[in-house]
Amino acid sequence: MKSFTETLSDGYGQTLSIDELLYERQTEHQHLIIFKNRFFGRVMALDGIVQTTERDEFIYHEMMVHVPMLAFGKARRVLIIGGGDGGILREVLKHPDLEQVVQVEIDQAVIDLCREYLPNHSQGAFDDPRVDIVIADGMAYVEQAESGPFDVIISDCTDPVGPGEVLFSSAFYAGCRRLLCPGGVFVAQNGVVFMQPDELVTTAQRLSPYFADTRFYTLAVPTYAGGLMALAWASDNTALALPDQQQLAQRYRQAGLNCRYYTPEIHHAAFSLPAYIQQLLP
Ligand code: SAM
């Protein structure tokens, strides 16, 4: 039987059976494989790293989107960097005040192949009239675009190797700050802390010159193996991250959300970090 092994560290990895190979090719930017696994359903990996699976994607997408969107309240304009599988876009579009989403994805092939082989991720989101797709490097976009301000910016990128590396740079964070409205919020996937502690330290150092409030919140996604994943949070509004839980519950109801991971209680709890993570931060 064929299998896919992701190396997480020397002596540690995760292996998934490839029960059906659906697609594999080298795109212009990265190696892409989509296969069917009997436990996780369809799986998409880039450059040997699992990006998303049908079975556990809701955890990541709900927490990447609903934490900043419900904290901000009435977000009208949202920028997504990366996110080619469409899961972030699907969740952003559920928010009733939304007027426009710009999504900047470097690799057209990821969008095309995920629309074909992982249609439950986007669920038609790419055809929504509020969506503008830009095929470009997110770094170049945030440096040059005049299309701000955005209320919320979400960086759903690959890890800091290959094309995703620039999305963890100081210059990228400065560009995002420039495109945010006053009091807007930037969130970004920031790896599994137990496996990539340096990523957390570096991101905290690089974000802090540009934002009054930089912090992290966590979630556990089975295929992002090795423990808690950290999501970076940055805003000039120091009160934004943790609105009153009743207010969050009201916004949740108004948006008609029916989440499987996010709750207003989880929203608050996710910002409480275990000691081993706190100890990495200044
Ligand atoms: N959720 C995943 C994770 O945490 O591992 C990542 C999702 S995957 C959709 C990330 C996307 O970022 C890919 O589609 C990739 O093509 C895109 N990407 C990587 N580098 C980029 C860049 N410099 N600009 C824009 N998109 C980029």
The pLDDT tens digits of the residues spanning 92-110 come to 999 999 999 999 999 999 9
The pLDDT tens digits of the residues spanning 232-259 come to 999 999 999 999 999 999 999 999 999 9
Above 90 in pLDDT, residue 88? yes
- The CATH architecture assigned to 56-280 reads 3-Layer(aba) Sandwich (3.40)
- Domain boundary assignment for the chain: 3-53, 56-280
Cβ of 57 less than 6 Å from ligand 1: no
The pTM of the full predicted model, rounded to 2 decimals, is 0.98
Instruction: Report how far ligand 1's centroid is from the alpha carbon of 105 (Å).
Output: 7
Q: Which of 10, 156, 236, 244 is catalytic?
A: 156
Cβ of 83 less than 6 Å from ligand 1: yes
Q: Which amino acid is at 18?
A: I
What average pLDDT does this structure show over 12-40?
98
The mean predicted confidence, pLDDT, of the chain is 97
Above 90 in pLDDT, residue 229? yes
156 flagged as catalytic: yes
The pLDDT tens digits of the residues spanning 172-221 come to 999 999 999 999 999 999 999 999 999 999 999 999 999 999 999 999 99
Q: Which atom of ligand 1 approaches the CA of 85 most closely? A: 9
Q: Is the ipTM of this complex over 0.90?
A: yes
Above 80 in pLDDT, residue 8? yes
Give the per-residue pLDDT at 282.
Answer: 87
Percent of the chain, pLDDT > 70?
100
Query: How far, in Å, CA of 66 to CA of 96, rounded?
Result: 12
Cβ of 233 less than 6 Å from ligand 1: no
Dig out the tokens for 170 from the structure: 């100081």
Look at domain 3-53 and name its CATH class.
mainly beta
